[in-house]
Structure 1
Amino acid sequence: MDPHLLRTFVTVVRRGSFSAAARELGYTQSAVSQHIASLEADLGTVLLFRRPVAPSEAGARLLEHAGPLLIRLDAARADITRMAATPNAAVAVGASPLAVKPRLPAALAELRRQHPRTELTLRVLSRQAVLDEVSTGALTLGLVDGIAAPSDPLRLPEVAPLTGVVRAAGDDELVAAVPADHPLAGRTSVRLPDLADARWIDAPEAGLPLAQLRANAEFGGFRPALAYDGTDVATLAALVAGGHGLAVLPRPVAEAAPGVIGVPIAEPRLVHCVEVVHAGGLDGPAAGLFKALT
C-alpha cells in the first residue's frame, strides 16, 4: 500500500472534496482522482463514494488504520532526518600493548552496544606515544600500563595538558614468565631479587621495561640477554617459551601464552596496573567509555 495514496485518501475524507484535497496537497484534481482509483484497485474495493464525497464501509475501516500508520511514517522520517543531520561521534583510543586486555575489549563492546553509530578507532602504541597523542588531542582516551605498589600511582612522565589520570578498575598480579621446562616452572612463588642475575628479555614496549623493575625493586641487575624492539606481546611470549630469557608479565597474559609458565612474584609486592588518561572535555560515548574503564 503506497503511503502517498493513503495520505491523499485521508485528505479527501477530511476535506470532503477532491478539489479541496488537491489544493492542500499541491496536486491537480485529476491526480487526486487517480490516487484514489489506484488505492481502490490495490485493495480491490470501493473506498469513497463520489457524490457526495464520503467513505464507504471499507473506507471507514481503512481510515481507522490510516491515522496511526501515517503518524508512524512521519515519525520515522523525522527520526531518520535528525540522525542524518547529526554527525557521528568519533572516539579514538590509544593503548600500550599490555593495557589492551582484559578491560578494554569489554568496554569497547559496551560502547558499541549503547552508541552503535560511533566511529571507533583503537591504536596500539608505545606508552610515551599514547601520552603524547592524548595531550595533543589526536586520541580521545589513552590507556598506559606499568608496575607500581598496590596503592601507588604509575610514575608517568610529565605530559601536558593531561587533566584526567585515573587508575583503571582492578590490578593484575605480576609473574615471572619462564619457559615450561625452566627449573623455576614448578615453584609456587619467587623473589624478584633472586632473579636479578637471570637472563632477561628487554622488551620495553611489548612487556614491562626492565628499567621499571629496577626502579620499583630498588636494586640493580636485570641485564638483558636479548632485546626485542616491538609491540607484539605474542612475540615476546614466544621468545620466553623459546628459552631466550625471562620477562615479567601480568598473570593473565602469561597464563594465555603457549609454552610459558607464570611464577608469582612474592617480593617485593608489586602489581601491574593500567591508568586511563585524557585531556578533558569528555562527553557522550567518550565519557561512557571512561566510566566503564574506571
Structure 2
Amino acid sequence: MDVIAVEPQQLRTFVTVARLGSFSEAARELGYTQSAVSQQIAALEADLGTALLHRRPVGPTGAGARLLEHASALLLRIDAARADIARLAGAASARLTVGATPLAVGVELGRALAEVRRAYPVVDLTVRVVAQDALPAEVAAGTVDLALVDGPAAPSDPLPLPDVGPLATAAVAEQPLAVALPTGHPLAGRPGLALADLSAAHWLDAPGLAPTAARLRAATAVDGFRPAARYLGTDVRGLLALVAAGHGLALLPAAAVAGAPGVAAVPVGAPRLVHRTELVHGALPEGPAALLARLLTAEGADRV
C-alpha cells in the first residue's frame, strides 16, 4: 500500500467518515458538501487501488481498517512538521498557550508565568490541563506552545515520552514519591515501602494523576498492581478522598499527599524512583514561550 502518495486532506476525510460512519455527517463536520467528501474518498481509493469503505452501512473494509492504523500517526507527523516550520519561520506570538498535567500546575509555573507577564504585559495567556499521554502530540502539532509533563522515573532519568516529532525536553523538578494509603492502614507507620511488596494490594487506577498499573509493573518487574477502582478525574483531592476511604492505594509525589485528611504518605524505598517534571517544547522564537522555558529550566537546575 503506497501511503506516501496519499494527500493529507483525503486522509483526514477518510478518517472522519470512518469515525462517524456517515458521509453526510462527515461533510457537515468538515464543512464540505457530501459530493466533495464522496469524491475525496473515491480519489483516495483510486490512488491506493482498493476499496477502503463499505457504503451500506458505512464502515472500513479490511484495507480501510489497516489504513486507519497508520492514519493517526501520519496526520500527527504532518501537523507536527507544519507547526515546527511555523515556529522556526514565524515571529513570537502575542499568545502563549501552556499545557500541563494536573500535578505539574504548581507554584513554580505560577511564579514563572508572573515573570512572563511582567515582561510581556499584553500576552494572551492560556493554561490547559491535559493528560500526559496527549501533551507531547499537542506540542508537536502546535496546539500548545510548550508543556509540563510529569511521572515516575529513576533519579536524573528522562521520562518515557512518545516519539511524535522533533521536540526538546528539559528537567524542571524532581520530588520524592510516596505511597498514599489510609492512616489506619497496617503499613501507614512504616519508614519506607518497597513497591514490589504491594503488588497484591488494592490500587486506584487514576491515569490522569498517578502511574498506571502497567507503569508500576514495568518499574518493579513484578506482576500485579490490579486496580480495585478507577478515578478518571484530575483533582488530586478527590483521589485522596478515595484513598482515605479505603478504596485503594496511589503512588503520588509526597508533597501532593501532605496534609490530606485521613491519608498517610509513606516514602518509596525501592525501587529508587522520583516524581519528575519535564518541560517539552519545539523550536521557540524569542518571546513569551521562550522566556517561560528559560525561567522554568533555570529553576529546575536547582531542584534536580
Give the TM-score normalised by structure 2. Answer: 0.65
For 1:167, the equivalent position in structure 2 comes to 171
Residues of 2 paired with 1:213 and 1:221: CA distance?
9
Matches within 5 A, 1:170-249: 170-249=173-252
Residues of 1 paired with 2:191 and 2:107: CA distance?
24
Matches within 5 A, 1:12-23: none
Moved more, 255-264 or 138-147: 255-264
For 1:259, the equivalent position in structure 2 comes to 262
Output the amino acid matched with 1:214: R
Give the TM-score normalised by structure 1. Answer: 0.67
Matches within 5 A, 1:53-92: 89-92=94-97
How far apart are 1:103 and its partner, in Å? 2.4
How far apart are 1:121 and its partner, in Å? 0.3
Aligned residue pair count: 207
2:115 to 110, 118, 121: 110
For 1:142, the equivalent position in structure 2 comes to 147
Deviation string, structure 1 residues 80-131 (Cα, Å, up to 9, x no partner): xxxxxxx972110001112222422222222223322211100001112211
1:250 and 2:253 matched: yes
Counterpart contact for 2:146–2:280, Cα < 8 Å: yes
Residues of 2 paired with 1:187 and 1:148: CA distance?
23
Give aligned-pair identity as a percent: 51
Counterpart contact for 2:99–2:128, Cα < 8 Å: yes
Counterpart contact for 2:151–2:210, Cα < 8 Å: no
For 2:284, the equivalent position in structure 1 comes to 281
1:290 and 2:290 matched: no
User: Greater CA radius of gyration, 1 or 2?
Assistant: 1
Residues of 2 paired with 1:195 and 1:271: CA distance?
18
Gaps of 5+ in 2: 1-91, 298-304
Deviation string, structure 1 residues 227-261 (Cα, Å, up to 9, x no partner): 11222222111111111100000011011423221
Residues of 2 paired with 1:153 and 1:198: CA distance?
28
Residues of 2 paired with 1:109 and 1:156: CA distance?
28
Distance 1:102 1:260, change over 3 A: farther
Counterpart contact for 2:181–2:263, Cα < 8 Å: yes
Output the amino acid matched with 1:153: P
The runs of 4+ residues in structure 1 deviating greater than 3 Å are: none
Distance 1:273 1:135, change over 3 A: same
Residues of 2 paired with 1:189 and 1:277: CA distance?
32
For 2:82, the equivalent position in structure 1 comes to none
How far apart are 1:277 and its partner, in Å? 0.6
For 2:102, the equivalent position in structure 1 comes to 97
Gaps of 5+ in 1: 1-86
Output the amino acid matched with 2:265: G
